[in-house]
Chains A and B, each alone.
Chain A
Amino acid sequence: QKEVEQNSGPLSVPEGAIASLNCTYSDRGSQSFFWYRQYSGKSPELIMSIYSNGDKEDGRFTAQLNKASQYVSLLIRDSQPSDSATYLCAVNENNFNKFYFGSGTKLNVKP
């Protein structure tokens, strides 16, 4: 069974700090990688997608991918209380089109 591992947290950071969320995956065939944000009682919404090694930046968010180490991370700069949520890492093995999700990291941003 393909595995996606995340630290469940909670990760607590003060407002304005950088939050660093990490994810490892077991299947070397994984091709696409995603970060979703999920507020309590709501469905996941896409934050970032990344497909090649390196960094990808979008506003306050940076996704980092290292396929050799089977590692993907999400950095949130200038964290805001509204960023408090559970962040889900997802990987997709393109040949089979299935998404595998980690169990999520709960982030608390304290004012």
Chain B
Amino acid sequence: AQSVTQPDIHITVSEGASLELRCNYSYGATPYLFWYVQSPGQGLQLLLKYFSGDTLVQGIKGFEAEFKRSQSSFNLRKPSVHWSDAAEYFCAVGAGGATNKLIFGTGTLLAVQP
């Protein structure tokens, strides 16, 4: 069965510092992988996705993520965090095709210090 683990419940970084949010997945085949962001009081917005091809994917707002099959990971990174990046971040894995369901991780809440 598919599963997603986000080991960090809460992370605090200083504005301008780099960021890496961890995501590990469990799935037998090549997964579809996603990062979503939820700002306070908002729905979830897609940051980026990986389906195939280049393992380093670029997303919106300056985020990127790298798919590492050997580590079953899809970590999200940003070189310089802005105060507006404070939000909750969710990693998700999908089986694709007919099943087309996403399984979400429990989320990582990012706080940004001035």
Q: Do A and B come from one complex?
A: no
